Structure 1
Amino acid sequence: MSQLIKVMLTDDHAVVRSGLCRLLEQNSDIKVIAEAESGEQAYQTYPENRPDVLVMDMSMPGMGGLEALRRILHRWPDARVIMFSMHENATYAIQSLTAGAMGYVAKSGNAEDLVKAVKEVASGKSFLSADMAQKVALQSLTGDDNPTQRLTSREFEVFRLLAEGKLVEEIAGRLNIGQKTVANYQTSLKQKLDIHSPVELVRLAMKYGVITEQ
């Protein structure tokens, strides 16, 4: 009998969580032991659940998956996290893996990808679905210098929220940091990305698929 893999699901949609739960538990060696509906809740309840694998949606209201990933790994460096995202582009995958996620699975991909990812990550390996791996490889091969890849996970989150039109106060509240800190990130983003206006910031975010056309 193989060892049971304990999974925690984090997604702000109950329907998605119940679908994932059914999908994963079709495998007798996977058990969903906990669910969270936000990054904040995942961070707060992680220590009492201590799952073998945490499957986390990337785009949730509030803190968001990338910031929750950063905080969880800061407190529990051995956490094994798979980012489960509606974003199919390499930028998000690279940001997730750089921030310490062990797997990245696109929601639009093959349902079996997530099951495979959970098993691989539980055994200590990292996982990227074949099409995501191809996109990541192509992006690094074509020498398409994507400046968003030079951002830290915190800078990337601030960049994404600014591109979505969020105000400094709102970003500060979401990421639980001071408004002055957000303003400092804004300044460093302008320098790192060589942008001089909000319009340029949005254009850059759209060019690299960080946001889609509004």
Structure 2
Amino acid sequence: MQKIRVLVVDDHTIVRDGICALLALVGDIEVVGEAVNGSEALKMVAELKPDVVLMDIAMPIMGGLEATRRITREFPKTRVLVITQHDDKEYVFPVIESGASGLISKAAASSELAAGIRSVFQGDSFLSPSVAKLLVENYQKTAKERNHLDPYNQLTEREREVLKLLAEGFSTQEMADMLVITRKTVEGHKTNLMTKLGIHNRIDLVKYALRRGIISI
């Protein structure tokens, strides 16, 4: 059985020893070398051609992010799985941007570490549960902020109905009859929606509705 060849990169001997001890128990994974910083890792990748590099972030001489950028650029067949004790977005997003195939916590169980190595070796991405949770929460927060900034999302359901009818060319009386409300109420909705959208005339309103796909020609 062909084993996955792994290079372990960390400036702490106790961490490297712990990782190597865990991986020694995994039948399809073989540690072929150890490096204490990014600069040494680059030399060993060139020499050993490992399948996967387990890369720490904070190291002297050359840190893990710079080493990852260079490895993924100069040795595209070698995958990098970053191992870190940090799982906040200050570290997560730079790791992803560096070209790493995955990110896993140093506190991960041996089964999770092995799964991460196998995953990136096969060309997939791998994120430990805590990192995946952070990314989902960040996406949800960004989406919520984006929706909040979109003035259309500030319109009530009735205002959206009036917007569509206005853009389709219906008169105030026609809208009042269709929606079973008074002309005064229609005018109120019209004023409110145009204020929220920052639109001041019907022509611009029609253009807006076309851009949003609310109406079509």
Question: Is the shorter-chain TM-score for this pair beyond 0.5, marking a shared fold?
Answer: yes
State the alpha-carbon separation in 1 of the partners of residues 95 and 106 from structure 2: 15
State the alpha-carbon separation in 1 of the partners of residues 143 and 33 from structure 2: 40
Deviations 1:142-171 (A, max 9, x none): 1299xxxxxxxxxxxxxxxxxxxxxxxxxx
Gaps of at least 5 residues in structure 2 are 145-217
Amino acid at match of 1:53: V
Deviations 1:159-211 (A, max 9, x none): xxxxxxxxxxxxxxxxxxxxxxxxxxxxxxxxxxxxxxxxxxxxxxxxxxxxx
Deviations 1:103-125 (A, max 9, x none): 10111333432111111111111
Q: Output the TM-score relative to the length of structure 2.
A: 0.63
Give the 5 Å matches for 1:24-103: 24-103=23-102
Contact 2:52 2:78 in 1 (8 A): yes
Gaps of at least 5 residues in structure 1 are 146-214
Residue 211 of structure 1 corresponds to none
Q: What secondary structure, in the 3-state scheme, does the structure 1 residue paired with 2:78 have?
A: coil
- Cα deviation for residue 74 of structure 1 reads 2.1
Residue 180 of structure 1 corresponds to none
Q: Which has the larger radius of gyration?
A: 2
- Cα deviation for residue 79 of structure 1 reads 2.0
Deviations 1:71-127 (A, max 9, x none): 112211232000001111133122112211001011133343211111111111110
State the alpha-carbon separation in 1 of the partners of residues 62 and 20 from structure 2: 23
Cα gap change, 1:131 to 1:52, in 2 (>3 Å): same
Deviations 1:34-63 (A, max 9, x none): 110111100122111100100010111221
Cα gap change, 1:106 to 1:144, in 2 (>3 Å): farther
Q: CA RMSD in A?
A: 1.7
Contact 2:87 2:130 in 1 (8 A): no
State the alpha-carbon separation in 2 of the partners of residues 39 and 48 from structure 1: 14
Residue 168 of structure 1 corresponds to none
State the alpha-carbon separation in 2 of the partners of residues 128 and 19 from structure 1: 20
Q: Larger RCO: Structure 1 or Structure 2 (Cα < 8 Å, ≥ 6 residues apart)? A: 1
State the alpha-carbon separation in 2 of the partners of residues 111 and 7 from structure 1: 14
